[in-house]
Structure 1
Amino acid sequence: MGSSKSKSSNTSNTTNVSGQNAISGDNLGVAISGVNNSTINTTMTDHGAVNAAMELGEQAFEFGGEMLNSNERISLEAMDTTHDIAETAIDEVADFAGDSLATYASTNSENLDMLAGLAGNQAAQNSKNLQAMMDLAKFKQDGGQVETSKMMVVLAIVLVLVLGYVMVKKR
């Protein structure tokens, strides 16, 4: 019987080179294809967009700083104005309160003077009323005899004086 030997070898190298590109929409980039074993030097530019963005950022910071300074100035002026208004209002209220108290005190003083006068007048009237009541009580007690006697004495004195006058005139 015989023996047989066989050997087989196969090597495949496949390089896929496609010349197709699929870019769609607003893609403004760069697509390079089909350049196997090549050295490609590319330079991209943003046409100053980054520098402009940085400059815009700096301007925004400067503007923000100016706005903060302006806001601070306005706030301080508003606080000063508010302080002045409040101080004036407090002074006006204090003056009004002082004037009101002075008027109230004056009115009370006048009222007390008037009450004192009324009390004095009332006391005098009360005294007269008491005297009249006492006289009435005396008249009631003696039936008016004392009063009649007093009237008679006064009448007699008047009569004597009239007679004396007439006598002196006749001479």
Structure 2
Amino acid sequence: MERNFSLSMITLSLTHFLLLCLVVAAAAAASNNITTDQQALLALKDHITYDPTNLFAHNWTSNTSVCTWIGITCDVNSHRVTALDISQFNLQGTIPPQLGNLSSLTTLNLSHNKLSGDVPSSIYTMHSLKFLDFTDNQLSGSVSSFVFNMSSILEILLTNNRFSGELPKNICNIFLI
């Protein structure tokens, strides 16, 4: 009987230890994910050359949680950035490729600013993205056919930019849900 009790205690201790390891590993993974999100957003901040409202200077700082920053929405469970909406801030600058590292992003709204340059191809690899709005900027380059192959996308707004070229032949793929 004493031997069974000892084996039960060892089994219980090992179970607790394994659960503790899983919790610590999950917390570390979540921390790394939010760190990746923070680095991507700080790269965006670094690419903004004109911020008349001082949105970034006063709010987007590394000593506060990304989830409290203006224009950022995080999932309450995963603590990952799910929406970036910094529309209508009259921002000038470019979109960094690191923005594509926001792997849980479902909404990307950079409309009604004065962003310029090409849209990085990393944006088109965001598999969770459902809503993309670049309306009223000064973005240029050709509209990549990749944007129309994004399986999760539901709405794309690209008007009033400086895009060139023809729309890809596979544009109809976006309407297949």
TM-score (norm 1): 0.31
More helix by share: 1
More strand by share: 2
Larger Rg: 1
Per chain length, whose mean CA-contact separation is higher, i.e. which structure has more relative contact order (CA < 8 Å, sep 6+)? 2
TM-score (norm 2): 0.30
